[in-house]
Amino acid sequence: MQEKIHKIMSVVGNMSIVVGVVTVVVGVAGGILMIVGGGRLLKERNKLIF
């Protein structure tokens, strides 16, 4: 019984680490894309004529 619990806890712990790493990578990539997009918008705003 304890061996089964130990195995389940190991799997859940490993999956938590994997999900955490993926979340950080996606968050950083999204942040970089937003900064680049915002910079392009600010750079091109002078070309707008209303």
- What does the pLDDT read at residue 49? 79
Question: Per residue of the chain (50 residues), what is the pLDDT tens digit?
Answer: 889 999 999 999 999 999 999 999 999 999 999 999 999 999 998 888 77
Q: Rounded CA gap, 45 and 26, in Å? A: 28
Phi, psi at residue 49, to the nearest 5°? -125, 125
Q: Rounded CA gap, 13 and 7, in Å? A: 10
Tell me, rounded to whole angstroms, the distance of Cα 29 from its chain centroid. Answer: 6
